[in-house]
């Protein structure tokens, strides 16, 4: 597993799950698979004991 450090300067306009997958976005066809990225992000953050209040 790789770690992407959440930094306000990373891409502040994007939600946390998009910053986590930046450059490695999950896709369903040509569309972003936001549901999968959100679920995987929640799982990863929980594994590290990080609560971002979602």
> pTM for the full model?
0.74
Contact 33, 26 (CB under 8 A): yes
Contact 1, 14 (CB under 8 A): no
* Domain residue limits, the chain: 1-54
For residues 4 and 29, give the distance between their C-alpha atoms in angstroms, rounded to a whole number.
25
pLDDT at 3: 73
pLDDT digits (tens, 9 = 90+) for 5-44: 665 556 878 898 998 999 999 999 999 999 999 999 999 9
For residues 6 and 12, give the distance between their C-alpha atoms in angstroms, rounded to a whole number.
10
Which helix (H) or strand (E) segment holds residue 35: the answer is helix 34-47
């Amino acid at each position: 597993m790789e770690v992407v450090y959440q930094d306000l300067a990373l891409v502040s306009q994007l939600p946390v799950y998009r910053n986590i997958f930046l450059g490695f976005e999950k896709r369903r066809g040509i569309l972003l698979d936001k549901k999968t990225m959100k679920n995987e992000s929640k799982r990863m953050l929980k594994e590290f004991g990080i609560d971002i209040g979602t």
